[in-house]
Structure formats: C-alpha cells, structure tokens
Structure 1
Amino acid sequence: MVDRISDGEHAVMDVLWDEAPLTAAEVAERIDPARGWSDRTVKTMLARLLAKGVLAHEEDGRRYLYRPLVARADYAARESRKLIDRLFGGRAAPLVAHLAEQDQLSPQDIAEIEALLKALKP
C-alpha cells in the first residue's frame, strides 16, 4: 500500500510518469515554473517519494536517474476508490450526482459518461 502522495509530490510524479528515467535536474526543468521551486525543493520531493516506495533510482555516474515504481493509472484508481469510499459510501453514482448538482459537468463530460454507460450495458 502506497502512502498518499501530496500535491507537490504529485507534480514530480506527473513529470516522471510522462518521461522517465530523469535526473533531479531534468525533473526540476520540467516542473511548472509557476511553482517557483529550487533544485533543492525538487530533490526533497524526490527523497520523500523514494521513502514512500513510489520511485526507484539508479546511479548514472555522479548522478541518479529516477523512475516511477507505481503506474499513473494504478495510483489514480487507488485514490479514486479512496475518495468514493470516504465521501460517497463506496458508490460512484452519488459522486456523479454531486458533480451534476454543482454544475461541474460540461456537456462533453456528460456525453463521455453517457458513452461509457452505454458501452457497459450488455
């Protein structure tokens, strides 16, 4: 079981899910500049993610190359399930209803949900 990944750690994981392996400097180059992170901040995030067991690293000369040990889809599935369990009693329908009631579903979202439901019907 993977510990929860913070929002900052998630930004690092997004970079590595998109492209890996990368050095710490390469990760720092790809982080959104709006975050204003230094290389040291990125290295701190990488160390946290290593400690959580979601990253691996290997030596490449005097630097380390980092790569994810957890697939993005697997992490998203686990976090989605936790959210649905915690907030909606383990049921997805109340989540969709909540989003609809809050006007959080675009016409494209609704069309995609309808297509998914249609594909699920036998």
Structure 2
Amino acid sequence: MEQQAAAISDAESKVMEVLWRSGSAMPAEDIVAALVSGHQWQEATIKSLLNRLLNKGAVSAQKEGRRYLYTAVLKREHWLTSESTGLLDRLFGGRIAPLVAHFGQHRKLSKTDIAELKRLIGELDDDQ
C-alpha cells in the first residue's frame, strides 16, 4: 500500500528529522533533548508539534509504562517526493528544466554541480 505524505509544516519536519535519523521509537524527552538547544524551542512547543504529527498520522505513539514512545510512520522518501513535487508544481509548472535554469541564473552552479547534472542526464538517457 502506497503511503500518502501528510502535509507537515517546517517546524514539524524538524521533529520528523529527529525520528527519521533515529530509525527507532523514541520517548518524548529524547526528542525534546534533540531539539531544544538547536532551535531554542520550549518543551511544550515540541510536545505540541508531536501531537499535531500524531493527529496527522505522520507518527505513532505506543505507551510504555508512564511514557510514550514515538515512531515515524511517514517515510522520509515519501515526504521528500511529495515536497519536491509540490515545489516543482507551484513554482515551475511541474518542470525540472526551469528549476535548474533558475539556479543557474541566480545562484551559480559549481563545476561539481554541473558535472553531476550531466552525469545524471546521461544516466537518464541510457535508461530510455
């Protein structure tokens, strides 16, 4: 069954990144510890984000004793595909060439970037 990517906010994605990096169930206090210093968020903010993610079905919670363990349900690859497709659709009519052209015009692509793009295009040509 293909999983739909839930629409998650930028702040919620930070919580998801912690869970994705972990790869296993985490108690709220570990998630809070991973986010408090880097984002200067309060514990209550992080717990609110966890609850929003629970309501969206992006994470699950299992009670263990007096605490809950949180697990990412939404797979990072599914979310990344949804986000990148949405960006392309909204900003570039669903086309990749104008995106690359934009970066080429407004943010110089390094020689390494250009070489990698050429390599990827060559691989795509070989597959077709």
**TM-score when normalising by structure 2:** 0.88
Where 1:118 maps in the other structure, the secondary structure is helix
After superposition, the C-alpha distances for 1:13-37 in whole angstroms (9 at most, x for unaligned) are: 0000000211111001112613111
Identity, in percent, stands at 41
Aligned positions, number: 122
Pair 1:60 & 2:31 matched: no
Where does residue 88 of structure 1 map in the other structure?
A: 92
The Cα of 1:38 is off from its aligned counterpart by: 1.9
Q: 1:87 to 1:119 in 2, by over 3 A?
A: same
Gaps of 5+ in 2: none
Please point out which of 9, 14, 17 is paired with 2:20.
17
Which has the bigger relative contact order, CA under 8 A and spacing at least 6? Answer: 2
Pair 1:50 & 2:58 matched: no
The question of whether the paired residues in 1 share the 8 Å contact of 2:58 and 2:74 is answered with yes
Q: CA RMSD in A?
A: 1.5
Runs (4+) off by over 3 Å = none
Where does residue 75 of structure 1 map in the other structure?
A: 79
**TM-score when normalising by structure 1:** 0.91
Please point out which of 6, 10, 33 is paired with 2:9.
6
The Cα of 1:104 is off from its aligned counterpart by: 4.8
Where 2:26 maps in the other structure, the secondary structure is coil
The question of whether the paired residues in 2 share the 8 Å contact of 1:2 and 1:53 is answered with no
